Amino acid sequence: MKVIYHPRYEEVYSSDPAATTGRMESVLKEVSPHFEVVTAEPAAVDDISLVHSDEHIRDIQRSGLTYEVALLAAGGAIKAAELAIGGEPAFGLIRPPGHHASQCHCWGFCFFNNMAISIARLRKEGKIDKALILDIDLHFGDGTDNIFRGVPEVVYFHPEGRDREEFVDTISQVLDRARGDVVAVSAGFDRHEQDWGGLLKTEDYQNIGALVKRFAQRECHGRRYGMLEGGYNHDVLGMNVRALLEGMS
């Protein structure tokens, strides 16, 4: 498992919780002793244009610093996808997050849809036909769903559950039936018992990662990757990311 990162992800580009000081550093400190860290490169505008309108791109460009870091986040997602297709599981430790970014607008701390860009590029290059996106964030990824609505080859799944056991079991059941050439995880950690959602334990993320690995090995030659979305309690975020990566690797 390789972790894609860039020091510029540590820059505070806005006032939202995803951009707070120390958030990325808390994760990097936890995962870097255990996984190889690979440096991200910015995405090209042509990559962003695969899923976003020219007007939306221009709107983000006007933000200056946010635009620069958002290009790096999309580039980190692309790198994770490329590694996965090459046979190396990968995780984009990136920000800003992306799953609330639709073709023409964004909200929820997101600017470009990193996951959608990475999947769209793989499809454009003919490296995959079908993809399964598992979004474990507390919030529904309306941007990802909007972008791929009407694209039957890309399945977006956002599980729910009344308790942690039901949540993980729902993922297991769907993965048992699913198909795809790659599985990609929009990894939000704000469902944790010490974060906004108050539901999952750290061990649940490891179990989810193991389910993803099992699906990938059965259906898509082991091709799997993920990227950071939400998760705002710096005291537990790092260990939760590490748990997911241990399960996936």
Give the residue numbers annotated as catalytic, written as ranges.
Answer: 100
User: Rounded to 5 degrees, what angle do the CA atoms 49, 55, 57 make?
Assistant: 50
Taking CA 125 as the corner, what is the angle to CA 121 and CA 130, rounded to the nearest 5 degrees? 75
How many whole angstroms separate alpha carbon 68 and alpha carbon 43? 10
What amino acid occupies position 132?
A: L
Write out the two tokens for 110: 């997101």
Q: How far is CA 48 from CA 108, 199, 200, in A?
A: 19, 34, 33
Instruction: Establish whether the linkage from the previous residue to 17 is cis, with ω within 30° of 0.
Output: no
For 99, the token pair is 């799953």
For residue 238, give the nearest of 23, 20, 36 by alpha carbon. 23
**Whether 238 contacts 26, CB under 8 Å:** yes
Closest alpha carbon to 186 in 237, 151, 231, 219:
231
Quick check: 83 and 127 in contact, CB under 8 A?
no
How many C-beta atoms lie closer than 10 Å to residue 111's C-beta?
28
Helix (H), strand (E) at residue 216: helix 202-219
